[in-house]
Structure formats: C-alpha cells, structure tokens
Amino acid sequence: MRPFTYERADSVDDAVALHGEQTRYLGGGTNLVDLMRLGVEQPDRLVDVTRLPYDQITVAPDGGLLIGATVRNSDLAVSWSVRQTHPLLSQAVLAGASGQIRNQATVGGNLLQRTRCSYFQDITKPCNKRDPGSGCPARKGENHNMAIFGHSTACVATHPSDMAVALAALDASVHVHSREGKRVLPLSDFYRFPKDDPSRDTVLKPGELITEVEVPPLGMPSSYRKVRERASFAFALVSIAGALKVEDGVVQDCRIALGGVAHKPWRAHRAEEMLRGVAATKENYLRAADAELESAHPLRENGYKIPLARNLIVRTMLSLGEGA
Amino acid sequence: MTSLERVEARDKVTGRARYAFEYPVEGAAYLMGVQAAVGRAEIASVDHEAALALPGVLAVLSCENAPEIAEVDDPELLVFQSRKVSYRGQFVAAVVAETWETAQEAARLVRITYADERRPDVRLSADHPGLYEPEEANGGFPAVSELGDPDAAFATAAVQIDATYTTPAQHNNPMEPHATVAAWEGDDLTVYDSNQGASTVQGTLAKIFKLEPAQVRVVSPHVGGGFGSKGTPRPNVVLAAMAARAAGRPVKLAVTRQQMFATTGYRTPTIQRVRLGADADGRLTAILHEVVSQSSTLREFAEQAAVPSRVMYRASNRRTAHRLTRLDVPTPSWMRAPGETPGMFALESAMDELAYTLGVDPVELRVRNEPERDPEQDIPFSSRNLVACLRKGAEHFGWADRDPTPAIRRRGRKLVGTGVAAATYPANRMPNKATARADADGTFTIRIAAADIGTGSRTALTLVAAETLKADPAQVTVELGDSALPRASLAGGSTGTASWSTAVVRACEALLDELDGEIPPEGVEATADTAEEIKSEPEYSRHAFGAHFAEAEVDIDTGEVRIPRMFGVFAAGRIISPTTAHSQFVGGMVMGIGMALMEQSVMDAEFGDYLTHDLAQYHVPACADVADVQATWIDEEDQHLNPMGVKGIGEIGIVGAAAAVANAVHHATGVRVRDLPITPAHLLPDF
Ligand SMILES: Cc1cc2nc3c(=O)[nH]c(=O)nc-3n(C[C@H](O)[C@H](O)[C@H](O)COP(=O)(O)OP(=O)(O)OC[C@H]3O[C@@H](n4cnc5c(N)ncnc54)[C@H](O)[C@@H]3O)c2cc1C
Ligand code: SF4
C-alpha cells in the first residue's frame, strides 16, 4: 500500500480546502479502501468526511426528504419516515451489500462506488475506466453481468449501486459543494454514459463534495426488487425500482428505473411515457417493457437480461397495481 | 456414543485458538508474493532495484537470485527454480519487508520483463487437440475400466439416455487463507502453517531444503478449513522458508484471497458424457461415463470423476474413462470429494433423466439397480445401505405423495419441485502412529500429528480415546497438529477419523495392557503403529452411501432458484461425534447447494486467469440461501473397517447434493440444466 496522509474535515469548507490533486474523500471506506488495497486507487491524501454535519434525514412538510451525505446506509434503510413515504428507497438500500457493510457505508460513498467489473479491479489488465486508452477487455471477454443499454466500444460496465436506482426513480437530486460554491445536480444528469471517456462515472468536478441528496415526495405505491444469483450479498443481475399510481383502471403516473443494465441507473422514460394515461393492464405493461428494451444491445453473454428486465417491469407494475 | 461439544470451542470463540499467521515470532518480517502477469512466457529479467529502494524492504527473491532447492513430485513447489511462466498468477518473485504494507507496495515495484510471450491455451473443450488418456486418475485408480460390451448393450437398450454434463472450475476457498510463519535457528526450521497434515508438510520441506525430517517442525493446531486445498503443501510454505533464510529473519506470509485463485488449487472443470441403457423396467444394461478434465503443464492431475460410476449401480456392460488435456492453467487439485463431486452430479442427473423417460420413480429406479456386490471388482461390500438411506429420506421428506409431472406446482409466482440423488464416497485408511499416556493424576494424553481443520477431529479422537480407555472424556487431552507428535496421515479423502482413530485405539489398548495398579509418578506411555494392520486388510469394497432430497423454488419471472428445504441421510459407519458429524454433513450439503446454483470460477480466455478473484465475485451460499437443511444418518455396524467401525464423513455430504438440486429444478420447471451452476441465465430463455 502506498503511503498516504489522513485528515479529518470538520466543516464543508475544511473538506473542500483540504482537497488536492490526488485526494479522495473518505466515507465509510468500504469501496475506496478495497480499491486502494488492489492498487486501483492510489490517493496521496484521504479527507475523512464522516464527521461533517450531514448525518441527518430531514422530512420536509410536503413529504420530501433531505438526506445527509454521511448518513449510514443502515440508518437510511431503517428510517421510519423513509419506509413510510419512500419504501422503495429503504428496500433498495437493504438489498445491497451486507449488514456490516451497510453499517459502515455512507450515502455519498454509495453514490460514488465504482463498478464491479473484474477487469477494472485487476491492475495487471487493461481497462479504459482505470487506465484510459488501454482498452476494454470486457467487451469481448467475460460480460455476463455487463450493460445492455448505453454502452460504448470504450466501456460496457454497469453502475453497481442499488440505492442510486431507487433515487433515479424518485427524481432525486444531489447537492454538491466545491471551492466555487454549491450546485444541485438532478440525479438523471449526475451519472454519465461511458461514451469515449469511461474514466468519469459522474459529472462531478475534481474536489466536489456531496453533502445532501434531495428526494421529492412520491405519493404512490413503490417497490424495489433485485435479481441475483444468491439470496443476499450479491450485486444485481437486473434490479428495478418502480412506482405506480392507478385510478379507475388507468395509469396516472409511474416510475421505472432499472439497475445492472447500464453505466448509470437506467430510467425507463420510454416505458413510463407509454404507460401514463393508458389502462393498467398486463398487455400495456408488456408493450411498454418491450418498447423500452428495443434500444437494448446485449453483449455475447448477457442477452438473458432482456427477458429478465421485461419480466421485472411487467411483474412490478402488476403487483404495484394490485396493491393500489 | 456420547455427545461432546467441540473441545476447542471455547478457545475458538474467545480468540485464544491461534491460527498460523497469528503466532507471535520475535523479529518477524513480512513476505508478499509477486504473481506473473502473463499466461505463458519466459522470464527475461526481474529487476529488484525499485522494490529494494523502498524503505523497509529487506530482500527480493526471484529466479535471478533464488537459492537452489531440491526437486519434489509437485513442481508447483519449486518456486523460482525456472524462468518459465506456466500460468498467469504463478508466483515469480517475492518481497520481504518490515511491514506487510511495505511488502505489498514493494511487490508492485518488482519489474518483470517477459520474452517469448504467447497467448495461453486455457479453454477446456471436449475436442481439445491435447486430450489424452492418463495412466491413472487421482487416487491411483485406473483411468479406464470396461466390462462386457457397453457400446453394443447401449445401442440395443430399450431406453437410452445420452447426455453431456459440465461442471465449472471451483475454488476451495476455506475461511482461513493459506498462511505460513517460518523461522530458522541454524539449520533447524520451524513453520507455523495452515495445512491439513503437519507430517506431510514436514516431509516435503525436509526434502526441498535437504534436511532431516527431525530438523523441520510444522505447527498447525488450529486450521480454518481447507476443503482439500491444504492437503498438499502449497508454494507459500516453501516461499516462507526460503525467504526467512534469505532475509536472515523469521517471516510471515499470508496468501491473499486474490492470490488463492491462482496458487492454492481448485477443482478442474469437467465435461462428462453419460450414457445409460436400460430395459423397459429400468434395469440398467449399460453404463458409460466418460470424463474430460484439465491439468496444468506442470503436473498431471486427473480428476477421477467417473470412478463413482464403478460402484453405484448394477449393469453387466460398463465403461468409465478419463481423458485430460494440459493447459496453461494452475494445477487443479483436491477439492471436497474430488471425483465423486462432479462425477455424481453427472451420473445422478442421468439417473433422473432415465427415471423421467421411463416413468419410474427415481427412488425406485435406484433401488432396482442396487448391486449385491461391487459391480466392477466383484467383491462384497463391507456394508452398503444406500437403499435404507433412500427409504428413510423418502419417508421423512414426504416423497410418497410426489407427482412426477414437471412444472405443475406453484407457490405464488414460484414453480416448485423436488429431486433426489444418491451419494457415495470410499472408506479408506492410511497408516499412522500414536502414543497414549497415563499420568498419576488420572489424566490421559493422546499424541498424534493429526489435523483438525475445523471438522471436529480433536473432539472425535477424544471420544475414541475415552471409550477405549473407559475414561471420562474430560480426563483425556488430545494433542495434534504438530509434526513433533507421532507421524500421522493427512486430513483428506475422508480418511482422517478412520485412520487416526485406529492408531489411537491401538495405542490406548497398548496402554491399558501396560497399566496395572498404581500409575507411577513419571506416568506410563504406549505407542502404536498401524502400518502392518492396514496392509493386511481383507478384500472388501468399502464405501459410505447417502441420499439427498431437495426442494427447489424457481421464480417464474426471474429464474432465481432457492432451496427451501433439503434432507440428507447417510450411511457412513459408526458416527463418533454426533455434533461435529452433523456439521460435516450439513456443511457438505450447503456446499452442494453452492455448487448447484452459484459456485463458478470464470476463466478469461484472453488473459488466462480465473477472473473471479474474491468472495464478492466467487459466490458461496450466504445464510439466506440456506433455509431448512437437515442431515441424519443410519446407524451402521460394519465389522470390516477399523476398530471404531467408522467410514469418514467429511466429503460425502457434498456428493450428489448438486444433482438433487438440479433434479428438483427439473421437476419444478421441466427444464433440464446440464451445465452448472444453474443461474437465471440458464432458465430464463425457457420461461
Ligand atoms: C462485498 C461487497 C458487496 C457489496 N454489495 C453491494 C450491493 O449489492 N449493492 C450496492 O449498492 N452496493 C454494494 N456494495 C457497495 C457498498 O454499497 C459501497 O461500498 C458503499 O455504499 C460505499 O460507501 P462508503 O461510504 O463506504 O464509500 P467509500 O468507500 O468511503 O467511498 C466511495 C467513493 O465515494 C467517494 N466519496 C465518499 N463520500 C463522498 C462525499 N461525501 N462526497 C464526494 N465523494 C465521496 C470516495 O472518495 C470514493 O471515491 C458492496 C460492497 C462490498 C464490499
Ligand atoms: S467494461 Fe469498463 S470497467 Fe470494465 S474493462 Fe471495460 S472499460 Fe474497464
């Protein structure tokens, strides 16, 4: 392990001032420290942000949430208000990692966790995300859990966060601070597609610190479901965050975001548009799912994700509709 | 036999039980291995400079400067003796430093240049041009066996099954990674090492470093699992001893989880063609089981996957055969029930296919084909209670009500099915020595260099000694896991308890003979050696048997498979320690669930290494995957085994378990998955 310095920030100003060229903010460290051990991350300074005063979940009068970036994943998942108003968010967090990791992991760190692509994690191999220009062995190699949407010749990786998929469905936005001040980024624009520069997962500029995540009120039944090869402690093959409002048999509103299928949480805008205002029937769900999946481009080994995503969309909408 | 809690349980849960890496050794430095980053090449040069320049680095070892060591059978152990890279991830250099972190960083600074780099040949296929028939398969079995005219019998059989099954490479992944602490004192070497047999490691180290065995001491009282991967010494133990000598200091080496995927063995992938011919009643007329597997270019290891088909069922025409090819991969090795585990997945899946084709109940089909004598060797079984296991399991599991029709049962959005498969594992014994000692205070001490790798052997041997001595187990202490103790065989091939307990019983009997009246202050000691006894065993076919019953739930929307219940019944001789035996059976079954549904090491065809590098990628069952898994046994009295009448239980629990799951998945869905593991990707396209 390379030597590095460790600093603890007490305020946002402190944190952003301490941030230099090879600095990383340290949340729970459950991803960053692993990557440092593997040699993937080689910071010379860690700025611990877990003592910043952003460890609260605030419920707005309208039912919206303001979630501090240092709130531990476990605390977010068990929060009574979150479970009441945004159950899909609680379910998504609980579907991730293990109890021990969730106790340690923070909301900010969860959003910025890196892909689980095994080439990315092995510094003896090429990878455009880790080492720009070196190539993407996953595209023709082992890709059974890679992206089916929005990948490029440069990178076919997926974003691994469950929480982010729920936040994408919720139209959340991310508050970030830097020396230049504060900005608010809608989650839909927060993550990037790999295009020709997969080294950047998000639009964050160097040194920008996540302080809060803002979640508008939802007001309809919602759920999160994750498909994986074992019953817990595994990343998603495909996951779905869904919400549905049906009145008189007609879809008033709906949200569908898929995980495990793209470089970012995949908001199924096309399917949502097709569903708003039509009858809440299996046929319509199926038609919407198929339309959404038309733009999918499976790789050699991950074609199964298409029927899987389709089934998940249909089943999630059906069960949310039944609950209504 | 009386039940006894694991004798070292308290030490383990309080952290007092020491594992290899934890031994405090004064002045110890840390050792980190450097792995080849190519799959097939010659090492042109190794540049140590940058690593040595890092403060705290004490030494760098590689083919450029490594001392010569003596040849042994396993070339994997001949570290840095050649410039050839045989597989990606092979240890090609090592760094000794003041701290583990420095060693790790310095390891990245060792610059290796390769010459003659070629694309590694790493993909096993049934038509690989390098396939050949080895002389023997692992365990010393003939590679091929044939009786009657299997081809003709199969061709003319009323009912035929001809199917190919594959199992992927799997890594043992014991909880405790391989680790060694090595310290020299002059020409005497002490290693604290995580292994399945201290005497074996001692013998190998003595050979490699040209020492007398008495100059080498291997200390391994507690070992956090092995599953076969610690059955043979691994490069870590040689590296540690070599580096400690070079650095002039004791060194500590912990193989990282990532490194284990290349350097500590694994189960070969297999491709198995099984053909079964039967008459209209399901009586087998032909059994053909042909296996293709891989080994490295360094050493031949032929997984004996067709061997269980030599004992399972009656049929007058039969052939079993093994072929393998030598690839640019690490040498595969033992993993819990090598041979039986992949082999019985194939055979027991094929039996299920036959039952389904014939419309005969799969339990009944097995009973119908029960042989009276060992069907290939034509000798009697010492005992064989497969039918009793099947019957008991069927009754307990509620098999009688089972409708064999696949894909008709639903539980919400899940398809439900049940499956059965049989299990078998040989009951062998190895020669051992042991001493038994009585002290004036009424306590007894048993000494034997046996291993307790978490299986409970310390507990079992305590009970064995207490019973033989007619003493209270609390009066008996078993010392094991140290090569300074009387020489013992390793914990492998489910031979441990049978072999060690023979020596312990004989030593205790000898002690009883010597004890008369008062025990003198210096105590009384007796020693036994079982070499002669074992040589003169009468001819019997000795095997444990068992039956697994599994229920599978398959999600209709996602293809996710979960196992709500599983029940295993085993006939494995006498069960000495019910508590720890139960854990062994259940543990094996759980590992079988893992094999069926998730365990898989993925070979990268371009780079030539196993991509799965940690336990986040290499999935084993989590608690949530293990619902209601139960095991029980049949009290079996077998006079033809050993004084305790035991057969060994460490491996049979996994054998056949994956087939029971796969058969349950078929019953649930109507989809026959012949390629493990059974993932949603396999099932979804069919839904
Ligand atoms: C074995 C394993 C299994 C897992 N399974 C899952 C799973 O199934 N689903 C899932 O969603 N996740 C899973 N995870 C990932 C886990 O959720 C993340 O590791 C965790 O959420 C990261 O949070 P952290 O606070 O520990 O982040 P850290 O490791 O501390 O940081 C991660 C990144 O975020 C940056 N960072 C942290 N905080 C901030 C901030 N406030 N502002 C700006 N940058 C910041 C760091 O610099 C770093 O680059 C798993 C992890 C492991 C180890
Ligand atoms: S998919 Fe992306 S992360 Fe994986 S190897 Fe290719 S570039 Fe690297």
- Cβ contact A137–B613 (<8 Å): no
Among A118, A232, A240, A300, the strongest candidate for a mutation testing the B interface, having the largest count of B CBs within 10 A, is A118
Task: Please answer whether residues A275 and A317 qualify as being in contact, where contact means their C-beta atoms are separated by less than 8 angstroms.
Answer: yes
The residue of chain B with its CA nearest to that of A38 is B258
Q: Answer left, alpha or beta for residue A48, where phi above 0 means left and psi between -120 and 50 means alpha.
A: beta
pLDDT of residue B610: 97
- Measure in Å the smallest separation between the Cα of B568 and chain A Cα atoms: 22
Six-digit token string for B520:
């003198």
Which pTM was predicted? 0.97
Alpha carbon distance A313, A316 (integer Å): 5
Where residue B649 falls among pLDDT bands split at 50, 70, 90?
very high
Q: Is A136 in the pocket of ligand 1 (CB under 6 A)?
A: no
Using a CB-CB distance cutoff of 8 angstroms, which residues of chain A are in contact with residue B623? Answer: 232
**Ligand 2 in contact with A117 (CB < 6 A)?**
yes
Tokens of A208: 């920008």
Pairing of β B433-438 and β A23-26: unpaired
Distance (Å) from the alpha carbon of B150 to chain A's nearest alpha carbon: 38
pLDDT digits (tens, 9 = 90+) for B479-527: 999 999 999 999 999 899 999 999 999 999 999 999 988 899 999 999 9
- For B430-535, CATH number out of 2.60.40.2310, 3.40.640.10, 3.90.1720.10, 3.30.365.10 equals 3.30.365.10
Residue whose C-alpha is closest to residue A241's, from A189, A294, A198, A187:
A187
* B310 neighbors B322 (Cβ within 8 angstroms): no
- Give me ligand 1 centre to Cα A56, in Å: 18
pLDDT of residue B327: 98
The per-residue pLDDT for B595 is: 98
Our answer on whether the CB atom of A127 is closer than 6 Å to any ligand 2 atom is: yes
Give Cα B143 distance to the centre of its chain. Answer: 20
Tell me if B622 and A38 make a contact (CB, 8 A cut-off). Answer: no
Instruction: Please say if the pLDDT value at position B135 is more than 70.
Output: yes
Q: Which ligand is nearest to the CA of A205?
A: 1
Residue that has been written with the tokens 């805008």 in this structure: A269
Q: How far is CA B472 from CA B107, B417, B459, B477, in A?
A: 53, 48, 13, 11
Residue B279 belongs to what H/E stretch? none
- Binned at pLDDT 50, 70 and 90, residue B248 comes out as very high
Q: CB A227 to CB B621 under 8 A?
A: no
DSSP A218-287: --S-EEEEEE-SSSSSS--SEEEEEEEEEETTEEEEEEEEEESSSSS-EE-HHHHHHHTTSB--HHHHHH
The dihedral over CA atoms of A239, A243, A247, A250, expressed in degrees to the nearest 10, equals -40
Whether residue A302 has its Cβ less than 6 Å from ligand 2:
no
Top mutation candidate among A127, A143, A195 for ligand 2, by most atoms within 8 Å of CB = A127
Q: Quick check: B199 and B457 in contact, CB under 8 A? A: no
pLDDT-based confidence at residue A3 (cuts at 50, 70, 90): confident
- Write out the two tokens for B463: 């009970």
pLDDT digits (tens, 9 = 90+) for B311-347: 999 999 999 999 999 999 999 999 999 999 999 999 9
Q: Is B562 on the interface with A (CB under 8 A)?
A: yes
The verdict on a CB contact (< 8 Å) between A307 and B685 is yes
Q: Dump pLDDT digits (tens) for B437-459.
A: 999 999 999 999 999 999 999 99
Residue B145 and residue B374 in contact, taking contact as beta carbons nearer than 8 Å: no
Q: Does B16 touch chain A (CB under 8 A)?
A: no
CB of A312 within 8 Å of a chain B CB? The answer is: yes
Q: How far apart are CA B251 and CA B191, in angstroms?
A: 10
**Residue B687 pLDDT level (bands cut at 50, 70, 90):** low
Q: Out of B559, B622, B685, whose CB is closest to A233?
A: B622
The answer to whether the beta carbons of residues B186 and B215 sit under 8 Å apart is no
CA–CA gap between residue B112 and residue B674 (Å, rounded): 42
C-alpha pair distances (Å), B385 with each of B168, B388, B425, B588 = 31, 5, 12, 19
pLDDT tops 60 at residue B1: no
Pick from A119, A144, A234: which is nearest to B681 by CB? A144
CB of A166 closer than 6 A to ligand 1?
A: no
Residue pair B606/A135 in contact (Cβ under 8 Å)? The answer is no
Instruction: Check if the beta carbon of residue B208 is closer than 8 Å to that of residue B238.
Output: yes
Question: Collapsing DSSP states into helix, strand and coil, what is residue B259?
Answer: helix
Contact B295, B302 (CB under 8 A): yes
CATH topology of domain B136-170+267-427+540-686: Aldehyde Oxidoreductase; domain 4 (3.30.365)
The continuous run of DSSP H or E covering A37 comes out as helix A32-38
Nearest to A240 by CA among A144, A288, A308, A296: A308
Nearest Cα of chain A lies from the Cα of B37 at a distance, in angstroms, of 6
Q: How far apart are CA B397 and CA B403, in angstroms?
A: 14
Strands B29-35 and B251-254: parallel
* Nearest residue of chain B to residue A2 (CA atoms): B105
Q: Which residue is closest to B614 within chain A, CA to CA?
A: A118
Question: Chain B window 20-79: which residues touch A at a Cβ cutoff of 8 Å?
Answer: 35, 37
Q: Say if ligand 2 is within 6 A of residue A97 CB.
A: no
Mean pLDDT of chain B: 97
Q: Where in chain B is the domain with CATH 3.30.365.10?
A: 19-118+178-255, 136-170+267-427+540-686, 430-535
**Phi, then psi, of A248 in degrees rounded to 5:** 50, 40
Mean pLDDT over B391-414 rounds to 97
Instruction: Give me the residues paired with residue B35 across strands.
Output: B91
A28 lines ligand 1 (CB under 6 A): yes
Is A229 part of the contact surface with chain B (CB cutoff 8 Å)? yes
Reading the block at residue B230, the tokens are 């610690």
DSSP string, B478-538: EE-SBTTSSP---S-TT-HHHHHHHHHHHHHHHHHHH--SSPPTT-EEEEEE-HHHHHT--
Are A121 and B613 a contacting pair at CB < 8 A? yes
- What is the A158 CA–ligand 2 centroid distance (Å)? 9
Question: In the prediction, which pLDDT does A59 show?
Answer: 96
Query: Which one, of B212, B191, B178, B202, lies nearest residue B483 by Cα?
Result: B202
CATH T-level fold of B19-118+178-255: Aldehyde Oxidoreductase; domain 4 (3.30.365)
Give B216-228 pLDDT, tens digit per residue. Answer: 999 999 999 999 9
Do the chains contact at A307 and B684, CB–CB below 8 Å?
A: yes
Q: Which residues of chain B make contact with A311, given a CB cutoff of 8 A?
A: 557-558, 684, 687
Which residues on chain A are in Cβ contact (under 8 Å) with B687? 307, 311
Of B607, B616, B624, the CB nearest to A231: B624
Query: Chain B residue with minimal CA distance to A119?
Result: B611
Stated as kind and residue range, the H or E segment containing B575 is: none
Complete domains list, chain A, with CATH: 1-49 (3.30.43.10), 222-323 (3.30.390.50)
| Per-residue pLDDT at B5 | 87
Q: What is the pLDDT of residue B516?
A: 85
SS3 B91: strand
> Has residue A205 got a pLDDT over 70?
yes
pLDDT of residue B2: 58
What single string gives the DSSP state of each residue in B382-428?
A: S---HHHHHHHHHHHHTGGG----TT--EETTEEEEEEEEEEEEE--
- Quick one: how far is CA B7 from the chain centroid? 24
- A121 to chain B: closest CA residue: B613
Rounded distance, CA B91 to CA B269, Å? 23
**Residue B63 has what DSSP assignment?**
T
Q: Is B651 an active-site residue?
A: yes
A24 lines ligand 2 (CB under 6 A): no
Q: Which residue of B has its CA nearest to A238?
A: B558
Average pLDDT over residues B290-295: 98
Query: What amino acid occupies position A62?
Result: D
**In this structure, which residue's CA is closest to atom 21 in ligand 1?**
A110
- Residue B18: the pLDDT is 97
User: What digits encode the pLDDT tens for the residues A90-131?
Assistant: 999 999 999 999 999 999 999 999 999 999 999 999 999 999
Mean pLDDT, residues A167-180: 97
Distance of alpha carbon A273 from alpha carbon A74, whole angstroms = 34
- CA–centroid distance, residue A175 to ligand 2 (Å): 28
Instruction: Write out residues 90-149 of B within 8 Å (CB-CB) of A.
Output: 101, 104-105, 108
B138 touches B340 (CB < 8 A): no
Cα-trace Rg, chain A:
19
Count A/B contacts: CB-CB distance under 8 Å: 88
What is the rounded average pLDDT of the residues B173-190?
Answer: 98
Using a 6 Å cutoff on CB, does residue A115 contact ligand 2? yes
Task: For ligand 1, say whether the CB of A235 is within 6 Å of any of its atoms.
Answer: yes
**A50 touches ligand 1 (CB under 6 Å):** no
Angstrom distances, CA of residue B57 to CA of A38, B32, B102, B107: 20, 11, 7, 10
Residues in chain B: 687
In ligand 2, the atom with minimum distance to the C-alpha of A136 is 6
Q: What is the residue with the minimal CA distance to atom 6 of ligand 2? A: A136
Q: Bridge-partner residues for B477, per DSSP?
A: B445
Please list every residue in chain A whose beta carbon sits closer than 8 Å to the beta carbon of residue B679: 229
Distance of CA A268 to the CA centre of its chain: 14
Examine the pLDDT at B685 and tell me if it is beyond 80: no
CA of A46 to the centre of ligand 1 (A): 15
Q: Name the nearest CA neighbour of B497 among B575, B578, B567, B409.
A: B575
Residue B686 confidence class, pLDDT cut points 50, 70, 90: low
DSSP H/E element including B60: strand B57-62
Task: Report helix, strand and coil shares of chain A as percent, to nearest 5.
Answer: 30, 25, 50
Q: Which residues, at least 6 apart from B82, have a Cβ–Cβ distance to it below 8 Å?
A: B63
Backbone angles phi, psi at A259, to 5 degrees: -110, 160
Provide the percentage of residues in chain B whose pLDDT is more than 70.
Answer: 99
Cross-chain Cβ contact B625/A307 below 8 Å? no
Query: Strand B159-167 and strand B270-278: pairing?
Result: antiparallel
Q: What is the pLDDT of residue A36?
A: 95
Q: Are B290 and B133 in contact (CB under 8 A)?
A: no
Q: Is B348 in a helix, a strand, or coil?
A: helix
Taking the CA atoms of residue A139, residue A145, residue A148 and residue A152 in that order, the dihedral angle to the nearest 10 degrees is -30
Q: Under a CB-based contact definition with an 8 Å cutoff, are residues B652 and B425 in contact?
A: yes
- Could you tell me where the beta strands, DSSP code E, fall in chain A? 5-8, 23-26, 45-48, 57-59, 65-68, 173-178, 181-186, 209-215, 222-227, 238-247, 250-259, 266-267
Residue B548's alpha-carbon distances to B242, B359, B374, B450, B657, in angstroms, are 47, 20, 22, 30, 6
User: Does any CB of chain B come closer than 8 Å to the CB of residue A45?
Assistant: no
